Structure 1
Amino acid sequence: MKTLKKLFLLSWVVLLAACIESDDDEEAIKEALEEEGVGYFIDSPVQGLAYSSPSHTGTTDAFGRFDYEEGETVTFSLGTITLGSSSAAKAIHVSDLFGDADANDIDTLNLARLLLTLDSDGDPDNGIQLSTEAVTEANSTNFPNGIDFTSASFATDVANYIAIEGVAGVANLVSTANAQDHITYTLSEVEGLLSNCGNECVPRAAFNEFVENVSPRHAQEGVSPNLASIVLDMTADYDGDITNMFIEIHGMPEGNFENCRIDWSGFTCNGYTTQTIYDFFQDANNTMHILNSEHVTRAFDTTEKTLTITWSGSLRDNYIYTVHVFNDGETGDEDDYKTWWQFTTGTNNAL
């Protein structure tokens, strides 16, 4: 988040999603990125925020676009409530408004929670659209002292506002955990691009469109090594054969591993391969095991569309685990299922 290169790549992700239905995707992306003085406000692209700088004022569009001049500061507002300011750049992430280089401070998370809650269709994958009511009701009447995104009572502070019909009409904000997951997923997309291996990069998570939830969550840290199972929840409309999914669980000592890749043939990472990579059932020769044998019990609930993976051993302390679940079907794309995600263990006393 601290470099213009990473911001540039974030904008590339935004534009790729926006242009996906075009026959001239690559050319459209190239032309948009070469457009001078146009930036993008994102976690997902946010439509409906007011922006102002010495040279420009306006409202972000469906792609989160705003006009800017190099060297200026851009201020973003929700209605009449100022959210924050950042140096002008090709892409500005919610965390940039708070100088949060790691995108995990409480003010970043609370702003992400609010924007995700206000998304008019509840689907941030297609961008965040702010309704007219969400903008007009964000005023000094509802927030006489503005919004303090560091407040310990943040959820209470915005409760009356989000409950207004047409604003969001809900009683509760999107949870901090879900907001963090969304931010992590966005940034992991960037890491995938940085490692230059497309949609088979790790730590980029790859979730089939029919995945509803995984546990532990992607990028969750401090997971107890005593964890005994992993759960994959599919959506109700998933028609693939959940009973034939294959499972791989790869573990590596926590560290700065880059350019990792997972594909149908296995997992490689900085010289580690499927033959040398560690896993928590390694044998004396450190041979990689595909964990769909006697080491693992798999339970399927075809009604609830869940896959539960259980083992009798223990995870290792301070390890990064990559879970790869796939079904190389032959009857259609729904069966040709593939997903992976990562989590990191703490020590034995971790929660």
Structure 2
Amino acid sequence: MLKKILFPIIFLFFVACSGGGSSSSSNPSSSIQTVTGVLLDSAISGVTYSCDSTIDITTIDGNFTCPLNSTVTFTIGGINLGSFIISTAQSIEQLTPAKLYGLENDNITDIRVLNFIQLVQSLDTDNNATNGIDINSITRDNLIGFSLDISDMNTAQNDLNTTLTSIGRNLIFQNEALEHYIDTLQNTLDVTLKSEPYYYQQWYLEHNSTFYTQNNINENAHINSVNLLKSYTGNGVKIAIIDDGLDTTHEDLEGSIINSYNVSTKSTNVSHTNQSDYHGTAITGIIGARVNSKGIQGIASKSKIIFLKHKEGMSDSETIELFNKAQEFGADIINCSWGTYDVSQSVKDKIVDLANTGRDGKGTIIVFASGNDDRDMGNDESSIPEVISVGSTDKDNLRAWYGNYGENLDIVAPGGYDIGITTLDSMGSNGISSIDDNYLLYNDSNSFIGTSASAPIISGVIALMLEKNPNLTRNEIENILKNSSDKIGNVSYENERNNYYGYGKVNLERIFSLMSL
């Protein structure tokens, strides 16, 4: 139960009157109007604030009182949390970190907001933000003289951790702090969130200047989704994902799965059976995570997912069975973030036939990851000319060193290395994340990287293309992808392609510009 937060608006008037005396004229009376507000994550007590000549600490209810039209500055020891000009009484009724920094309350992606909530919750006396946040005098005293830029806690993180340890505190995970803050916004302040909590970490979609600067990401490392993900969602497009287990109960996939099949059990149960089955959930998240203010946004967030569970050591007949199921369920796109390096002729024939005759003759689009062994693709499924073969790029907007290459590589997309691709993890203890129970974050020790992550980016992009124009043939889609890709890497592209980059890196904005001609 969240602690009840009170939002008083208190007006106090102090009147100064001149002294009596017949020999002097009276000075006109003057008044100072003061107002009281509340500093929030939960109500935050023990934060030092100053305004005009007033220096005090916030009360147990997070209250602070200052003159109207003054500037209030909040500090904890030597850490400056920020300043705010009190223009009206209403402006400080609910002073969240977002408002403190001049943002709308629904902004949960600004790095200053994230650092603020992470810091104050880490300093809470009883380590339980749900009953209010209290910064005690011992904590304040130990932070006197401590220098910290609230917009860049990474620089001082080691020193901060050392200081916190000395007073029996630990820096909590940012996502843990965010979970509580979102609860406050939604359930106490009745704020409707317009974005996903971890969208700012989805560096592969678009440029976020603060996140990019903090993580030293090349400004062009993303796929140029610009505002297209607000206009296009893959609505109505069916995407089959052939992979290992899926957490069908994941909060970010609710309502997304329309069909499923398990080749081992011949049933519809495709649930993960152990932690090693996380791969399919991560793939599905990149493509189809819903927009619901719970985690991330899939590229094709309203697409219809068909999940087909494969197994280790599949026979050719079982592989063909899965492609037949994709066809039976009406898949427009099939994502395959796997490969064997030894595709048989019978499997190849099935893939080629589906690519040529699927979708009522327009051709099913089959996307394969090229592999992560820094070798020629050889006789892999990804080398079949009729599939779209996908390699990886990293945060430097260059080919990821691990990506396989060859004359049939078609395109590259972000796959990460130094930082990962933020996506879904199996819920709770069934996942592999070391940070968040339900998500694999970019900085997790088990972060999701590789061509396995790049392939679903391309599948999601193609879903948006098909939403815009469902009549596109496979050949037309491939030509648009090739002609719109960015020629990156400072390498030569003979006949517009390179064995290590294919036709270049996917660029969603250029794709839609080309489709509009």
TM-score by length of 2: 0.36
SS at match of 2:3: helix
Residue 147 (structure 1) aligned with residue 148 (structure 2): yes
> C-alpha distance in 2, partners of 1:120/1:231?
39
Measured at CA, do residues 344 and 118 of structure 1 come closer, stay the same or move farther in structure 2, by a change above 3 Å?
A: same
Q: Which position in structure 1 is the counterpart of 2:178?
A: 180
- CA distance, structure 2, for counterparts of residue 183 and residue 203 of structure 1: 15
Which residue matches 2:297? Answer: 344
Aligned counterpart for 2:290 among listed residues 320, 323, 327: 320
Matched, 1:94 2:47: no
Question: Once the 2 structures are TM-superposed, how far is the Cα of residue 248 of structure 1 from its aligned partner?
Answer: 11
CA distance in 1, matches of 2:156, 2:258: 44
Query: Which structure is larger by alpha-carbon Rg, 1 or 2?
Result: 2
Deviates more, 1:174-183 or 1:109-118: 174-183
| Residue 66 (structure 1) shift | 0.6
Deviates more, 1:113-122 or 1:90-99: 90-99
Q: Work out the CA distance in 1 between the residues paired with 2:268 and 2:197.
A: 24
Alignment of 1:21-170 (within 5 A): 33-36=8-11, 37-54=35-52, 56-88=54-86, 89-101=92-104, 102-140=107-145, 143=146, 146-149=147-150, 150-164=152-166, 167=167, 169-170=168-169
**Residues 90 and 314 of structure 1, relative CA distance in 2, 3 Å threshold:** closer
Matches within 5 A, 1:219-234: 219-221=197-199, 222=202, 229-230=246-247
Q: Count matched residues.
A: 224
- Match in the other structure for 2:224: none
Unaligned ranges ≥5, structure 2: 12-34, 87-91, 205-238, 261-266, 301-334, 336-413, 416-420, 422-517
Structure 1 counterpart of 2:156, one-letter code: F
1:73/1:34 Cα in 2 relative to 1: closer, same or farther (>3 Å)?
A: closer
Q: Is the 8 A contact 1:81 1:138 kept in 2?
A: yes
Alpha carbons of 1:321 and 1:230: their partners in 2 closer, same or farther (altered >3 Å)?
farther
AA aligned opposite 2:297 = T
Matches within 5 A, 1:186-265: 186-189=184-187, 193=190, 219-221=197-199, 222=202, 229-230=246-247, 250-251=254-255
Structure 1 residues 96 and 157 mapped into 2: Cα distance closer, same or farther (>3 Å)? farther
1:296 CA displacement: 5.1
| Contact 1:86-1:92 within 8 A present in 2 as well | no
Q: How far did residue 111 of structure 1 move?
A: 2.7
Tell whether the 8 Å contact from 1:280 to 1:316 is kept in structure 2 after alignment.
no
How far is 1:319 from its partner? 4.8
1:263-274 aligned within 5 A: none
Deviations 1:187-208, CA, capped at 9 Å, x for gaps? 33367x357xxxxxx989xxxx
Measured at CA, do residues 314 and 90 of structure 1 come closer, stay the same or move farther in structure 2, by a change above 3 Å?
closer
- Residue aligned with 1:43, SS: coil
The answer to whether the 8 Å contact 1:219/1:344 transfers is no
Q: Which residue identity does 1:344 align to in structure 2?
A: Q
Q: Report deviation, 1:176.
A: 2.5
- Pairwise CA distance, 1:33: 3.9
Whole-angstrom CA distance in 2 between matches of 1:106 and 1:345? 22
Q: Secondary structure at the match of 1:92?
A: coil
Q: Which has the higher contact order (CA 8 A, sep 6+)?
A: 1
Change (3 A) 1:41 1:230: farther
1 CA distance for matches of 2:40 and 2:137? 19
Q: Deviations over 1:20-62 (max 9, x none)?
A: xxxxxxxxx6xx5454422011112111011111264321111
Structure 1 unaligned segments of length 5 or more: list them.
1-13, 20-28, 196-201, 205-217, 234-246, 252-278, 284-293, 302-307, 323-339
More strand by share: 1
> What is the aligned-residue RMSD (CA, Å)?
4.4
Q: How far apart are the structure 2 equivalents of 1:135 and 1:94?
A: 19
**228, 232, 257: which one pairs with 1:280?**
257
Specify which of 18, 30, 49 is matched with residue 4 of structure 2.
18
In structure 2, how many angstroms separate the alpha carbons of the residues matched to 1:56 and 1:232? 53
> CA shift at 1:297, angstroms?
5.7
> Structure 1 residues 85 and 51, CA, compared in 2 at 3 Å: closer, same or farther?
same
- Write the distance in 2 (CA, Å) between the matches of 1:203 and 1:96: 16
By percentage of residues, which structure has more helix? 2
Matched to 1:320, the amino acid is R
Cα pair 1:110 1:154 within 8 Å, conserved: no
Letter in structure 2 aligned against 1:18? K
CA distance in 1, matches of 2:46, 2:290: 39
Q: Give me the whole-angstrom Cα distance separating, in 1, the residues matched to 2:285 and 2:148.
A: 42
Q: What amino acid sits opposite 1:147 in the alignment?
A: L
- Tell me the distance in 1 between the aligned counterparts of 2:203 and 2:289: 10
- Is contact 1:249-1:321 (8 Å) kept? no
Contact 1:56-1:68 at 8 Å conserved across structures: yes
Deviations 1:272-326 (A, max 9, x none): xxxxxxx33179xxxxxxxxxx75566899xxxxxx9x98x9568365255xxxx
> 3-state SS of the aligned residue for 2:73?
strand
Q: What is the aligned-residue identity percentage? A: 20
The alpha carbon displacement at 1:124 in A equals: 0.4
Q: Report the secondary structure of 2:157's partner residue.
A: helix
CA distance in 1 between partners of 2:285 and 2:258 (Å): 9
Alpha-carbon distance, 1:231 to partner? 8.9
Q: Return the alpha-carbon distance in structure 2 between the equivalents of residues 229 and 62 of structure 1.
A: 46
Q: Distance in 2 between matches of 1:203 and 1:94?
A: 17
**Distance verdict in 2 for CA 1:159–1:17, change over 3 Å:** closer
Structure 1 position 161, deviation (Å): 1.5
